[in-house]
Amino acid sequence: MVFFSQKKTVKFKDHFKWLKEKLNSNNAKIYIAVIGGEKIGYVRFQKVIKKNYEVSIGNKSNFFGKGFGTVILGLATKRFIKSYKPKKIFSTVKKSNKRSEKCFLNNQFIKIKKNVTIKTNRKNSNYFEYKFN
């Protein structure tokens, strides 16, 4: 089994090692979405600095376009905020990924025109930040 990153194919053993490190890390919190016993997706919050976290989301391709990503991100974000009291939650999304962009906009994230506070090296991406009430 192989996984695809933005630039290359990742071998299963390398991905498994990375995942094991994330699960055992104090700097990453991962929520797994399950429906009827089937794991359908995840939301990961990765500490960048102090109480600033980058969030990423993924779900199985057969669940794309059905609204599950929006629900999963919303539930995980609320639970994460309640448990960890972050100062900032942000994400970068490829400009071509309109589904992901919609998912973030539907969950109190706002698109920031210029990333001033946290620099990313991701070209052709939009920057989103969670809007705390």
What integer is the mean pLDDT of 101-112?
Answer: 95
Mean pLDDT of the chain: 84
Return the CATH number at 109.
3.40.630.30
In this prediction the pTM is 0.80
Whether 82 is in a domain gets the answer: yes
What is the pLDDT at residue 1? 37
Q: Where does the pLDDT of residue 31 fall: very low under 50, low under 70, confident under 90, or very high at 90 and above? A: very high
CB under 8 Å to 117, separation ≥6 — which residues?
A: 88
How many structural domains is the chain composed of? 1
Whether 22 is in a domain gets the answer: no
What is the pLDDT at residue 5? 43
Whether 70 is in a domain gets the answer: yes
Assign 40 to helix, strand or coil: strand
Amino acid identity, residue 56? S
Higher pLDDT, 121 or 93: 93
DSSP state, residue 113? S
Q: Where does the pLDDT of residue 116 fall: very low under 50, low under 70, confident under 90, or very high at 90 and above? A: very low
Percent residues over pLDDT 90 in the chain: 54
Whether 17 is in a domain gets the answer: no
Whether 126 is in a domain gets the answer: yes
**CA 57 centroid distance within chain:** 3
Task: Identify the domain containing residue 39 by its residue range.
Answer: 27-130
